[in-house]
Structure 1
Amino acid sequence: MSLEEDFSLVTDGKACLEDIIKEINKYKMQHEAMLKEQNIIISAIDNSKLFAKEFNQRTLERKMSFEEDSKRHTEILKKEKDKKSTAQKEQNRLRMEILKMKEELESLEMNNNSLKQQTEISTAVPEKKVVFHGETAQGAHFLSFDVNPRIVFPMEGGTALITFEEEDVAQNILSMKDHQVQLGECTINVVAKPVQFLVPRYVEMDTQVCLRRILISNLPKKESEDRLLDKLQIHFSKKKNGGGEVEDIDMLRDSGSVVITFLDYDIAKGLTDKQDHEIEIEKNKKHKVKVTPFLNGEISRLQTCDSVCQSTVQLTGIPAIMDPESLQDHLEIHFQKTTNGGGEVDSIIYNPLGESKLALFEEDPPKGSQSV
């Protein structure tokens, strides 16, 4: 080998070494870059793990908080449901109480209306002779009137009222309650019920004199009502008799008295001051009547009590299967028989279905029987 060839080889080897060094430096730089990138990735992984750990911790805390909130919400919801259930029960109780109070109020209103119908009656006290028998009363201004009871009892359709001569018979019929009455070839079932009233036990009234009305009593008995009213109106409308223009005139049939209403307020007092007046009923024939003040009354105190008619029985559930007279006769015959628990019938009245009647109850006569 020549010298030139050796020099060439050395030169080529040096160039190759430099290239290798460059290549090594290149890979070294790449390695360092990869180490840095690896460190960044490791740091990122560590951060991710830390974040994941913190996230899991927060998730666990949130889960526990949610479970606590859910449990608390469930408890609150249960309490609210219990409150709602309690409130619903209380509301139902109050509703039932309101319905009961309404029923009681309706019953009181019915009793009040019945009592009002019995007490709101225009009455007059005709002049009566009195005598002292040695009895006294409390109070210097004590005043009372004895009033015979007259109770109007409305009968429903398909009912009957039977009054027996003996109270025991009526009580026996009531105790049996259900009765089968033979009507020819058929039989009807009726129910016996007691007759009950709400009656005044004690009454106090505030009264005042009506300035336009007068009450006329001691009237002639034989005159017809229309003729008598005409004669009274003519007499008391004349100024020479102390009268004036008459607005209205009414007959009070329960007392046999007459009420006259004047247009002016200064007529009534002059007539009542005189009291005794002679009116001409027929030509040249006069009759003395008594003129007294007319009192307007208002009940200031009222006490009531329940009253049961001991001798009278009410029969209900009576069908209209024959004419009323025949049906009433069959009822009377049935309840007269002792074999049916009955006895002597004092009076009976039957009210068919679809009709209405008013039965009048009055004070028992001295023998003790009840009249209808």
Structure 2
Amino acid sequence: MSSSDEDFSLVVMSPSQPAEDSLEGIKASIMKFKKQHEQLLRDQKELAASRDDLRGSAQQFRLRSEKLTLSLKEDKNSNKEVIAKEKAKLTSLKEQEAELMKQIQKVDDDLNEEKAEYDILKQQTDVFRAVPEKKVVFMGSTGNEGDALFEMKPRIVYPMEGGTALITFEEEVVAKKILDMPKHEVNLGGECKITVEAKPVHLIVPKLVEIESEVCPRRILISNLPKMDTEPLLMKLEIHFSKTKHGGGEVDDREFLPDSGTVVLTFLRKDIARELTEREYHEVTLQSGKKNHRVRVTPFLSGQITNLKTKMSVCPRTVLLTGIPTIMERETLQDLLEIHFQKNCNGGGEITAFLYNPLGENTTALFKGVSENKGGQEEA
């Protein structure tokens, strides 16, 4: 038989397996499908259980998520409140810091003022300590509290021209009479006569002097010294205060002040003077064979004139004679002039000082104690 005439399949049946279209086969298929159905039901139940478990887990996760979301929201709100409180604290601290800075600045300003006042008081103390001890009698006038007033007696150097003379009379009225007669004929003996002119003496005197003083860092003032020759005294003091065991150092300069009887020593280093003045009193060997002498060391004040007011003052007792020719010896001519102006008949009177300067020579007169009101003076 050919394949084109009829299709057929050959099924080889196992002797133990019934044919599908047989009753036995149909039963076997039913049993098979039944088992499969049961398996599917079991699988379906397991899937349903798994689905329920997953749904429960999802529900739990959803609840936990909602709880966490709520917690995060609460934390966020709480953090906002904390941040707001911290910001408020920070703002308060900044305000407190600013206030403290103002207080610190005020304290610094007060300290600077106190320091400036302390420096001024210390400088005044140093100035007061720098004045050597000396007994004085107050004969001036008092002023306002805090004013430091000193009465000075000026020493004025007056340069004289050649051919002039200065006469100081004992009484002012005599000087006035001489000035009222500007031309004076002086008889020098025999037929020798000269004519001189009398003029008032004008001096520029200080009316107000303001001095700013400060302590010199390299100088000391030594007082309470015995009376002895100047050079040996300076040598002994320099030797003593140049030794380091006495707190001294190398001396750069030394000077004796005759007006006050004190000595000024200048050191090369600046720190020596302060250490010596802080100790103040020192035992110094000044004379051989005698015990040590106790001297006082104080700061040296250097002053600078900050304000000077002057006025023109006329000497009431002194007269300037001009036009004196050189016709004889200086002493002789001076004596003749002095004799002439002592005589009452010539309008003169008692003379306390007379100074003659011939032509071609230079002479200076020293006026002492010229006061603003009285005008008293002496010539040297």
Q: What is the TM-score normalised by the length of structure 1?
A: 0.61
1:239-273 superposed Cα distances (whole Å, 9 cap, x missing partner): 22221111111122233322211111111111222
Distance 1:201 1:279, change over 3 A: same
1:225 to 218, 221, 230: 230
In the alignment, which residue of structure 1 is the partner of 2:177? 172
Residue 156 of structure 1: aligned partner: 161
Q: Is 1:352 the counterpart of 2:358 in the alignment?
A: yes
Distance 1:309 1:218, change over 3 A: farther
Counterpart-to-counterpart distance in 1, 2:316 and 2:139? 32
Closer/same/farther in 2, CA of residues 299 and 364 from structure 1, 3 Å limit? closer
Aligned residue type for 2:145? G
Equivalences for residues 100-111 of structure 1 within 5 A? none
Alpha-carbon distance, 1:134 to partner: 12
Query: 1:125 Cα shift?
Result: 5.9
Which 5+ residue runs of structure 1 have no aligned equivalent?
1-123
Partners of 1:264 and 1:325 in 2: CA distance: 54
Range moving further from structure 2, 145-154 or 329-338: 145-154
Tell me, in whole angstroms, the C-alpha distance in 1 between the residues paired with 2:140 and 2:194: 58
* Structure 1 residues 207 and 134: alpha-carbon distance in aligned structure 2, compared to 1, 3 A threshold: closer
Structure-2 residue corresponding to 1:181:
186
Give 1:341's match in structure 2, choosing from 341, 344, 347.
Answer: 347
* C-alpha distance after superposition, 1:23-55 (max 9, x if no partner): xxxxxxxxxxxxxxxxxxxxxxxxxxxxxxxxx
Structure 1 consecutive aligned stretches of length 4 or more whose deviation exceeds 6 Å: 131-135
TM-score by length of 2: 0.60
Looking at structure 2, the residues matched to 269 and 134 of structure 1 have their Cα atoms a distance apart, in angstroms, of 33
1:1-372 equivalence runs, <5 A: 126-129=132-135, 137-140=143-146, 142-185=147-190, 186-221=192-227, 223-283=228-288, 284-363=290-369, 370-372=377-379
Judged with a 3 Å threshold, the aligned counterparts in structure 2 of structure 1 residues 126 and 335 are, in CA distance, closer, same or farther, namely: farther
Deviation at 1:130, TM superposition (A): 5.0
Q: Deviation digits for residues 156-201 of structure 1, max 9, x if unmatched?
A: 2211111111111011111111111111231111111111111111
The SS at the match of 1:267 is helix
Identity %: 59
Shift of residue 276, structure 1, vs aligned partner: 2.2
Structure 2 letter corresponding to 1:371: E
CA distance 1:153–1:187, change in 2 (3 Å): same
Task: Identify which range, 127-136 or 169-178, moves more after superposition.
Answer: 127-136
Q: Is the 8 A contact 2:196 2:324 kept in 1?
A: yes
Give the aligned CA root-mean-square deviation in angstroms.
2.6
The C-alpha deviation readout for 1:283-321, integer Å capped at 9, x for no partner, is 233323222211222222221111111111111111111
Aligned-partner SS, 2:235: helix
Cα distance in 2, alignment partners of residues 254 and 125 from structure 1:
14
What residue number does 2:45 align with?
none
> How far apart are the structure 2 equivalents of 1:243 and 1:214?
11
In structure 2, relative to structure 1, the CA distance for the partners of 1:349 and 1:263 (3 Å cut) is same
Structure 2 gap ranges (5+):
1-129
The answer on whether the counterparts of 2:205 and 2:370 sit within 8 Å (CA) in structure 1 is no
- Any conservation in 2 of the 1:169–1:342 contact (CA below 8 Å)? yes
Counterpart CA distance in 1 for 2:350 and 2:226 is 40
**One-letter code aligned to 1:264:** R
- How many residue pairs get matched? 246
On the 8 A contact 1:125/1:255 being kept in 2, the answer is: no
The change in CA–CA distance for 1:126 and 1:154 in structure 2 (over 3 A counts) is: farther
Deviates more, 1:326-335 or 1:288-297: 288-297
Distance 1:132 1:315, change over 3 A: closer
SS in 1 for 2:249: coil
CA distance in 1, matches of 2:249, 2:360: 48
